[in-house]
Amino acid sequence: MVFKHDPAFGYSEYWRKNRSSIESQELSRVLLALRKAGKHIAVNLKTLEWSGMSEPHAAKIELDIGLGKGEYPLSPGKMDILVGITAREAFHCKVLSDVVWLKIVKKLSEMTSEQEYLLGFLVNLGEDIFINYMAKDTVWRYYLPACWPYLRSKNKRDVSRPPTIRSLLHIAADYILLGKLAVNMNPGYHDLFQKFIDARDEIIDCIKEISISKRCDIRVNIYQRLWQETLEAAKAWDFENQPEDSCFIQKDTDGMGDDFQPLEDDDDSQKEGDDREKDEIETDIRLTKHINEVLEKLEGKSIDKHIKDIAVEEKGDILETFFIDSNLLCRIDPDQMLVSRLKRIFQLQRSIRSRRYHYQRALHLGKIDGRRLYRFALDGRVFRQREYSRRDNTRNIVILVDGSASMTGGLPGGGKEWARTERVFASLFEAVKGTGNRLDVLAYYERAGVCEVARLSCGNKLYTVRPEGRTPTGQAIVAAALKMPKDKQRLIIHLTDGEPNCGICVKNSLEFCDRIGVEVVTIGAYYNKKMKAALENQYGNRAILVDTLSLLPLRLEEVLRESLLKQ
């Protein structure tokens, strides 16, 4: 059955409510919605951006901004297409499609650019088959069909003509993903077309393997075999010099003879086309600039300007900084003994709030104010009223957790060290409820040259991350300090198991926190004397050092007592 998509209708109509009729506002909100949707699929989702928002990078996913332009707010049908493309990219991240590509390229000998393009087409088709099957029992099965027609150009070659590899791949993709069977197919395609159908079943079967790495290896072997069979069978086929997709130069000369000569006014038409294209590029540049500005306001993610001002002498070490919302629920139960001890600290904090009295004078009613009796003949306001208020000693607290790879404790996916840390901040998250203190839990790490700060607390739910990457401590401290509300005294409790190895200097970040009135205390674990000396040098008297993270609960209690109970 061929999927027919109506742009006026879409499933996103039922859940997308945050919309705008202003172009930059709408495209920014669409991008935020797509990022949130992608994170529900893959926690390792690459940074999602509109094309042209920043420099291209292998660790970024660029969406064609042309798909979002037009009428605003976006129609539900258009939004479904973008959600489908995002879901596809997120599933590719989840199943490690990049790893599959690197492995198969390593196995094969050197290829021409045309062969590399065709192999990429084949691998992408195989990965799409795999993720399409993975999504069959999820909500994403409603969105993926909308995106398939927009991911590959149409087959411009008549399928009844002598076969080519590219045309074969288009025929296979149209049939497997869209349910569209080519009519009057050249008999030369039949054998290889059947091999692709058989390979589809093999690709789907590899989902039975539990190990993700073994799944990758199985798919690599399938693609390699299919590629070699295709090359062998296609030796006598026609060869197309120009790829049809945008990653290669395309000359639109279909139906033109070798003696084609441009008409006299073609130069003027070409000039007008170039001018129009230049105007469109300039318009897109302005638009992406506005989108970045709107995102900074809506998401509050861009603090790079502040960091550049702080790190005057460290321009080469600055990373891009992004705030993200984690969607991986924390499954660690709080330590009830620790929760009880922390609640006792918060109760003591509440008990030392003192009353402060003051008098409101010159009133029409109240108690007689002897100091104002002389004004009785003037306005009669000779009364006073006593009022009192409590001194608010609550805090805005941030638990800033090192989520770098070293926190796994040597085990993939989170080992003992990370589990201990999760139990500690889960206990504090439980204990702080109803105390008047505000608690935010953040985790930071480096991924693909970007400092990511993940929000782990949202409402009554607590989330977590999978430790990865390097340790950009300095930038994370600045990011946390800038995001804290300023209505109360501010305290950052930083938990780490080692020294920073990327981003700006910790010393500069601590000096910045001093200037804006944010208290920072670091509880750091060290494993040898050298690391201990390095931590003492960086944090000075702001650090409480332990030789194992098992002492983290006791040290956290000490920090809270010292900060919250001081008069």
CB 111, CB 66: distance < 8 Å: no
The predicted model scores a pTM of 0.63
Distance CA 414, CA 429 (A): 20
pLDDT in tens, 478-537: 989 988 988 889 999 999 887 788 888 888 888 889 999 999 999 888 877 888 888 888
Query: At 369, phi and psi to the nearest 5?
Result: -105, 105
User: Which of 180, 212, 116 is CA-nearest to residue 412?
Assistant: 212
User: How far is residue 58 CA from its own chain's centroid?
Assistant: 15
User: Which of 4, 90, 3 is CA-nearest to residue 45?
Assistant: 90
- What was the pLDDT predicted at 401? 93
pLDDT bucket at 67, cuts 50 / 70 / 90: confident
* Token pair for 267: 């130069």
Whether the pLDDT of residue 258 is over 70: the answer is no
Half-sphere exposure of 244 (CA within 13 A, CB side): 16
Half-sphere exposure of 87 (CA within 13 A, CB side): 24
CB 127, CB 199: distance < 8 Å: no
pLDDT in tens, 300-312: 545 767 777 776 6
Whether the pLDDT of residue 1 is over 50: the answer is no
Mind listing the domains of the chain with CATH numbers?
11-94 (no CATH), 97-129+154-233 (no CATH), 317-335+393-564 (3.40.50.410), 355-390 (no CATH)
The more confident residue out of 281 and 168 is: 168
Distance CA 195, CA 181 (A): 15
pLDDT bucket at 411, cuts 50 / 70 / 90: very low
pLDDT (average), residues 103-121: 89
Distance CA 329, CA 426 (A): 11
Whether the pLDDT of residue 129 is over 90: the answer is yes
The more confident residue out of 200 and 69 is: 200
SS3 454: strand
- Cβ neighbours of residue 248 under 8 Å, at least 6 residues apart? 113, 117, 242
**Which ranges constitute the DSSP H helices of 143-211?**
144-151, 165-178, 190-205
Report the mean per-residue pLDDT for the chain.
82
Structure-token match 């797509």, residue found: 34
pLDDT in tens, 38-63: 988 887 788 888 888 877 777 788 89
Whether the pLDDT of residue 238 is over 70: the answer is no
Query: At 502, phi and psi to the nearest 5?
Result: -160, 170
Residue at 73: amino acid letter = P
Q: How many CB atoms lie within 10 A of CB 422?
A: 24
- Sign, CA torsion 487/458/411/424: positive
pLDDT (average), residues 529-557: 84
CB 428, CB 439: distance < 8 Å: yes
Whether the pLDDT of residue 244 is over 50: the answer is no
Q: In this prediction, what percent of the chain has a pLDDT beyond 70?
A: 85
The more confident residue out of 354 and 77 is: 77
Comparing 194-198, 351-355, 382-386, 563-567, the range with the smallest average pLDDT is 351-355
- What was the pLDDT predicted at 256? 36
- What was the pLDDT predicted at 250? 32
Q: In this prediction, what percent of the chain has a pLDDT beyond 90?
A: 31
Residues belonging to the chain: 567
Whether the pLDDT of residue 563 is over 90: the answer is no
pLDDT (average), residues 169-177: 93
Structure-token match 């001093």, residue found: 514
**What DSSP string runs through 195-243?**
HHHHHHHHHHHGGG---HHHHHHHHHHHHHHHHHHHHHHTTTS---SS-
> How does strand 489-496 pair with strand 395-402?
parallel
Whether the pLDDT of residue 391 is over 50: the answer is yes
User: Which of 402, 548, 551 is CA-nearest to residue 467?
Assistant: 402
CB 407, CB 549: distance < 8 Å: no
SS3 410: coil
- Cβ neighbours of residue 372 under 8 Å, at least 6 residues apart? 361, 362, 381, 382, 383, 384
Q: What is the side-by-side strand order in the sheet with 383-390? A: 355-363, 383-390, 367-368
* Token pair for 39: 């994170």
Distance CA 526, CA 531 (A): 6
Distance CA 362, CA 367 (A): 11
Distance CA 552, CA 319 (A): 29
pLDDT bucket at 412, cuts 50 / 70 / 90: very low
Instruction: Outline where DSSP puts E strands in 52-159.
Output: 60-63
